[in-house]
Structure 1
Amino acid sequence: MKILKQSIGIDVSKSDFKVCLGVIDEQLETKNVYEQVYANDKKGINKFIKDMVSKTDLRIPVCFVMEATGVYHQQLAYALAAQQFCVVILLPNKAKSFSKSINIRAKSDVIDAKLLCQMGLERKLSPWQPPESLFATLKVLTREREALVLQRSKLKNQLHAYQTAFVKAEKTIARLKEHILYLTRQIRDAQTDRKALVKQSQPVAARINKITKVKGLSFLSVATILAETDGFNIILNQKQLVGYSGLDVQINQSGEKMTKGCITKKGNAHLRKALYMPALSACRTNPAMKLFYAQLNERQKAKKQGVIAVQRKLLLLTYSLWKTGQDYLEKCA
């Protein structure tokens, strides 16, 4: 039996990960040949890599397929990438869609590992590339700031409620004010760390400075876009970028029925959130975007659709300026 391809499905959890090694032969029949559980720590990962080297034929293509599980898969993914293995990291919705397509109704860690193994054998999957350390750190800082701002907003709402109440708890109000001041300092510190990080790379700092000349795009907005796209290293073209952001238009067509207008929202929510306020600002201050927004509103009643279109346009403009390294010329926009 000639083996054409090998796939290793990995279901990762906090303490361990389940492994399923499968092969596909020249008759296109799949077979699971090895299953095991390893501890999700340095010792367990080293043992797993050693076992896979002995149990697979390295002359035949082999890929390691896993789902993105917060941060628990990262140590394993980086260890495999360091050994020059082909690593595939899937979004959970892709694995779920594949499970539905082959009518899998049950769910467990072992079943998920087998499912990912089968998916690696039957589908052509894009390999994962480890992000640059600068953009990986920048993503942590931008998401930290986003979480801190959300916490502060909740506390401000609580403070307003306590201050408006007929019976006022003065000590509670004082503690809330103190907490809000603390979060404000944390947000300021995160901003300082982001700028210091970007300054470590002169080419990155120079390009960001060029992009922020676009009215509506601030340092924070551009930094978030770059962090969420790994400096556009994971993006091949504009169509993929729009899909990754979830700003692509959802089309529903059947027979004579044809509806469209809503965006899919199936992409990166952090990216969409980072572009919303810049789009509102650009609609007022950026001449090119203001004209574009006005033309859209002449054809449709829902003004939010125009704002979303400006979001998409700002994202693609950022992508073009980053890839080309050119200066932004407002008269040519």
Structure 2
Amino acid sequence: MIHPDVIGCDIAKAHLDFFDSGLERHFRIDNTPAAISAWLDGLDGRGVHIVFEATGRYDRQLRIALETRELPYSRVNPARARDFAKAIGLLAKTDAIDARLLARMGQSLPLSTQAPDDPARHVLARLHTRRDQLVAMRQQERTRLHETEGIERDSAESHMAWLDAEVARIEMACRDVLKAEKTLQEQEARLRSIPGIGPVAALTLIAHMPELGNRSAKAIAALAGLAPFNVDSGTSRGKRHIRGGRKRIRDALYMAALTASRMPRAFKSHADQNEGGRQALQGPSSLRLPANCSPSQTPSSGTKQPSDEPPDKHSCQPVQVPALKKTQTQRCRSAAPASTGKTVTSTRHSAQARNAPGNLTATRIILLLFLTKP
């Protein structure tokens, strides 16, 4: 639905910039509950729709006030707002210009109305974010532990012990939130029934993907950034790639996919089939060892046989096989002029890097996790 009377809002930490399309007026207020409430008091009787960008915690006060008064609003992706600005030829960027841009975006595009936040899920999301921060700090201390000694090591170990206790305390608080909400508890039980989904992955999905259960499998895969999008033009058929989406969801599902690929069930057989197919496509290695040759006898790269001794026909000899097809980067490097001494490198990642062992299998299993119904 396209809304005729739209108010665009650019959000900053200290203030909010508005552009009222009905009054053709720009104004600024403080980003505080009192200032927002006073502004909303002047909107009584007007059927307005507020459009603003998602800015994390900075838009929290505005969302609470709008939901309390049951006023419709759209919380748009900042990247989509910038794409809209480029589409209409708007290159300048200020707070006032962004507010006007968002108002025009709401008038031109059918933006969906944001559903009210679930308070319990919001608390769970903040606790989960805090847990991620603590886990990241603990990993940093573990990395430093190998380089410390004496008092430094004692300090790192004591800090890690405190972080372990704090992570456990946050996880207990998350469990209390889940137990208090029957809906979230049932959703966790369904998620835990999927092979590979553990308590951390289930908590991540519940906290950071509230759309789960209300959208189709394809829409959920796109939100997670796991849907392969087509790139076709005319007779050209490009290779499908995944992009965008929520990184934290992908991280959790990747670990779940690795766990599921090792379980003696359908996922493991699917992973084994993918592994065998990839090895068949990649071909054999550059060296083959005869039956009577051990790995320690394999000549290193660039090693030559001694010229004063004839080679033994039964000795270990490298068997050359056809080389793999050159990647895009290798072709560009070989085409670089020798006189300049510079290497021309393509910005396209090589196919071998994209299809490194484990990546393709894990991605397919992750998609199966989304498409599997409990």
Pairwise same-fold verdict (TM > 0.5): yes
The answer to whether the aligner puts 1:274 opposite 2:255 as a matched pair is: no
Alignment partners' CA distance in 1, 2:16 and 2:183: 39
Q: CA RMSD in A?
A: 1.9
- Which residue number corresponds to residue 257 of structure 1? 236
Query: CA offsets, 1:274-333, max 9 Å, x none?
Result: 11111000001151211222333344353311101111221333xx43xxxxxxxxxxxx
The letter of the residue matching 2:216 is N
**How much does 1:222 deviate?**
1.1
Structure with more of its chain in strand, by fraction = 1
Structure 1's 316 and 194: CA in aligned 2 closer, same or farther, altered over 3 A? farther
> 1:196-207, aligned counterparts within 5 Å?
196-207=176-187
Amino-acid identity (%): 24
> 1:77-96, aligned counterparts within 5 Å?
77-96=63-82
Alignment partners' CA distance in 2, 1:125 and 1:136: 23
The answer to whether the aligner puts 1:217 opposite 2:197 as a matched pair is: yes
TM-score, L = length of structure 1: 0.83
Alignment partners' CA distance in 2, 1:231 and 1:263: 19
Alignment partners' CA distance in 1, 2:233 and 2:210: 38
> 1:59-70, aligned counterparts within 5 Å?
62-70=48-56
Alignment partners' CA distance in 2, 1:96 and 1:207: 35
- Which residue number corresponds to residue 290 of structure 1? 268
> 1:145-184, aligned counterparts within 5 Å?
145-162=131-148, 168=149, 170-184=150-164
- Which residue number corresponds to residue 107 of structure 1? 93
Gaps of 5+ in 1: 24-31, 163-167, 322-333
Structure with more of its chain in helix, by fraction = 1
Alignment partners' CA distance in 1, 2:136 and 2:254: 15
Query: CA offsets, 1:14-40, max 9 Å, x none?
Result: 1110000114xxxxxxxx612111111
- Which residue number corresponds to residue 237 of structure 1? 216
Alignment partners' CA distance in 2, 1:237 and 1:95: 25
The answer to whether the aligner puts 1:35 opposite 2:26 as a matched pair is: yes
Alignment partners' CA distance in 1, 2:173 and 2:259: 25
**How much does 1:207 deviate?**
4.0
**How much does 1:200 deviate?**
1.1
Alignment partners' CA distance in 2, 1:282 and 1:312: 12
| 3-state SS, counterpart of residue 105 of structure 1 | coil
Q: 8 Å contact 1:7–1:65 — kept in the other structure? A: yes
| 3-state SS, counterpart of residue 35 of structure 1 | strand
Structure 1's 5 and 206: CA in aligned 2 closer, same or farther, altered over 3 A? closer
Rg: which structure is higher?
2
Q: 8 Å contact 1:131–1:230 — kept in the other structure? A: no
**How much does 1:261 deviate?**
4.3
What is the number of equivalent residue pairs in this alignment? 295
> 1:131-142, aligned counterparts within 5 Å?
131-142=117-128
The answer to whether the aligner puts 1:20 opposite 2:34 as a matched pair is: no
Alignment partners' CA distance in 2, 1:231 and 1:192: 24
The match for 1:118 among 86, 93, 104 is 104
TM-score, L = length of structure 2: 0.74
- Which residue number corresponds to residue 370 of structure 2? 315
